[in-house]
Structure 1
Amino acid sequence: MALLHLTDAWARGHGRALLVYTVDHGLRPEAVVEAGRVGQVCAMAGRPHRILRWLGTKPGSGLQAAARRARYDLMAQACRDDGVVDLLLAHHLEDQAETVLHRIDRGTGPDGLAGMARVRAFDGVRLLRPLLDVPKVRLLATCRSVGVEWAEDPSNSDPRFARTELRQLAPVLADVGVTSIRLGRLASAMASARAALDGFTADWMAQHASVLLVGAVRMNRAVLVEAPVVLRRRLIDRALRAIGGNNYPLRSDGLERLLAWIEADRPETRTRTRTLAGCRVEIAGDGLTILRDWRQAARPVVIAAHGRGRWDCRFEIENPTSSPVRVGVCGGEGWRRWRRTAQSSALAGRPMVAHAARLALPAVLDLDGGIGLPHLVHSAPAPSGWVGEDVRIRFRPTVPFLTTDRRPGDGVDPRPSQPCNGRQAT
């Protein structure tokens, strides 16, 4: 509510439009009433307000992480629908300190210790956190001074969640000097280090990596193992997060085991494979490829007629047809169906796509049995004559490989401006 009041005042002073979103996760009945109160405040201020609801079955485990992902997905989709570029979030100083403590508990590196970014691109939207330096007590005082009521989220004190324990430790840590202010300063220092590392990462990828529009990345393993260890960690972490759709830094222990496996000096007489963070890592000779593990890909999504959407945190989908389409992972059965019914010339003259990468491709599916693989040009016609080749698909991972506009080694932009469709292949 403090962010709403402050942003409303700023927008009026600068002649800017303001649209307010409230997310109802469907986890508490009180949330409906709270969202309604926000709507009333917005109506009094003359600001449009939308309630975004997380529908469907909620997971039995990992509820907070799932709710967080759903919240960001809902807001990003709403921004795209409404033509909004900047999305302001209300995270404050204590939220930042708590995030740093949580990352320390997970054994993270410089990226994690940098906490939440003040400005970050996410799914086609720019996330802004203008209150990261402001203590919660000041925000509450602001609300009191203007007569604005606020609601406390009871999940913040729910003992089922790990962050609750960290929150309860805050007074104890403050007694020994580990205050929210100092943790916030640590995050700022690590953010500067992260920015410097981004530059080194961009330079290395520009020379030694290729980002493929089928949703994979290739590197030269021999060159990778010669890179400084901090850069090796960062390169693999970034690739795994982009391909696997993970918005947060990976745990150090799993990443270290994977790096040791990559760096092991052994004759590559056959392809070695390993999985981590929803990805499949392959080593063949001096080549290292990171692909999506198709078995962990997202469930199919329905894209409305003339609509847009995303699938698996990796692909943007545009459906220019007059009928809704379903997009999901190709998988083994989908690949066999496509090969049985596609024209024999479907792959002729096309760049080789590894079998594991084919299985993880987005497939346009039809209830009558049709399956389209836009990346491989031809579609398999269903009995009705439907084809999926008009659906356009772009590889645009939610987590970008780079924070700059640099192009990876083969000149392929990891956020291509041109879609893959029935007349264009990788």
Structure 2
Amino acid sequence: MMRAFDGFRGWCHAALTLAGLAASPGALFAQTPLTAVGLGYPIAPVDGRSAALGGSGSGLLGGSYSLTNPADLLLHTEPGFSVSLSNEGVTLEGENGSFDTGRGRFTTIRALVPSNGWAFSLAFGGEFDQDWSNILQDTLRLNDGSVPYEETREHNGGISTIDASVARRFGPLGVGLSAQRLTGSLRQSFFRQFDDPLDGAPTLGGIVGARELSWRAWRFKAGGSIQLGDRVVAGAAFGTGGTLYATPEGAEQPEAEFDLPTSIELGGSVRVTDQILVTAGGGRAGWSAVGSRDEAAGSAFRSHDIVWLGGGVEYGALTLLGGRLPVRVGWRSTGLPFSQGAEALEESAFTGGFGWEFQQGLAVFDLAFESGSRGDVATAGFAEGFRRVTLSFSLRQR
């Protein structure tokens, strides 16, 4: 494993030293999100249709704009463009109560062109969401008194993927390749504001610290699919690992390196009748390659290999105002790659939604809803419930 985490260890130590840490056991925290640890919360680069069908973005008859299997480009018969936006509300529950937060992100933006048995695509996809904040209220104990304070730590940023893909059809068989550039930035901020001193303690000024990191990595993916008429399609994709570099602003050399995992994804769909489509998918990623870290000050985390499963049903007989209105329901379950305990956190959700297609699919709105949870208060001491909405808008040209 590469020399991961060294830079982040130095940052945490510097922040704590700068703060003159002398917190009492009675500190009051606003619970840090479970998804704040490690590299952040993994974003599935799927569109609204895939999200509504349990996140099964590979092997969808009719095509998907998800960044799962490059061979799926061949399921599109016309040039197209799609953009997907996701918003999530989160309720954090812990021993000190609960509070609400949220986040928003683009999950996919993709343009593709099929031509004479080939297909080409340029895309943008989400990878990790690193936005979170934590508030601590405590008292600094001194020899000549004490000083109450409030401390805020914020992370703002994330990691995204720029994807270039090509696919080629050989009869019922399709193969595809993707080159993916991981890029992004992260701003880490630290604020401590002291209140009026007590019992003769001196007046203390506030403390502020911040720095920025940039992320970069290369990753490659190969995929294959087989299609049997307009009723059955199945596919698999394999992703390489690579190294993710974290470089401070203004520095020439990275200060931390993270080994990325290899992964495998499977998926497929079957058109049971003209109006009913059943789809399912799953996969595995070896995130334990990132390694683990045992540190004080709340920065410890461990990485885990994860497995995910999902699937759903689409019913396409409904119409609304002249447009086709496919209705979808599904379910998914996945492990999260980072946790503060020895075991991986599990996330599961019920999914659903609908599409609205005009001009025989030339313009399409897809809306997905997810309701689920991750973690467990009884066993881990904390949990999160979440509600997510994903909206996609797609255009095709004939």
Identify the TM-score tier after normalising by the shorter chain: under 0.3
TM-score, length of structure 2 as denominator length: 0.26
TM-score normalised to the size of structure 1? 0.24
Question: As a proportion of its length, which structure holds more strand?
Answer: 2
Whose helix proportion is higher, 1 or 2?
A: 1
Q: Which has the higher contact order (CA 8 A, sep 6+)?
A: 2
